[in-house]
Amino acid sequence: MNRRLIVNSIYARYGEVKVLHGVSMHLEPSEILVLLGTNGNGKSTLIKCIMGMEKPDSGEIYLESNGQRIDLVGKSPEEIVNLGISLVRREKAVSIIDGRRESLIRMLPQRCAEDLKKQSTV
């Protein structure tokens, strides 16, 4: 099954505060996406939009599956999970990658790698 997740020019806000400003990305089959950034940069908002927990102000989020386009905006989180899209929260992700932590740290930008090393010693 050939599937891709497409996020195209997503804008979102909380009240008057704009959080996402035209975010675009695509995720190919078997890829794993990791969002890194400081607090307030919209990571959680983007994930909530993708998973159907928040509705973006504008933009597209869809799954391409065998040439068919399935619009995810407006679908419930349950519908999105049933389409094969899932979220692993950071607490679980750290335990999943724990055995590969040093390999992951070598691939990250220096500051993020330092933060991850500090977290692993707590």
Contact (CB, 8 A) for 52 and 77: yes
Distance, CA of 86 to CA of 121 (rounded, Å): 28
pLDDT digits (tens, 9 = 90+) for 46-93: 999 999 999 999 999 999 988 899 999 999 999 998 888 877 665 544
Give the pLDDT of residue 120: 52
Does residue 3 surpass a pLDDT of 50?
Answer: yes
Beta 17-27 vs 68-71: how paired, if at all? unpaired
Residues with Cβ within 8 Å of residue 102, at least 6 apart in sequence:
none
In terms of pTM, does the model score above 0.85?
no
- Give residue 97's pLDDT: 45
The CATH number fitting domain 3-87, selected from 3.40.50.300, 1.10.1040.10, 3.10.129.10, 1.10.1760.20: 3.40.50.300
pLDDT tens across 83-122, in order? Answer: 888 776 655 444 444 444 444 444 444 445 455 555 555 4
Q: Domains of the chain: which residue ranges?
A: 3-87, 88-122
Averaged pLDDT, 28-53 = 86
In this predicted structure, what is the pLDDT of residue 95? 46
HSE of 90, CA atoms in CB hemisphere, 13 A: 10
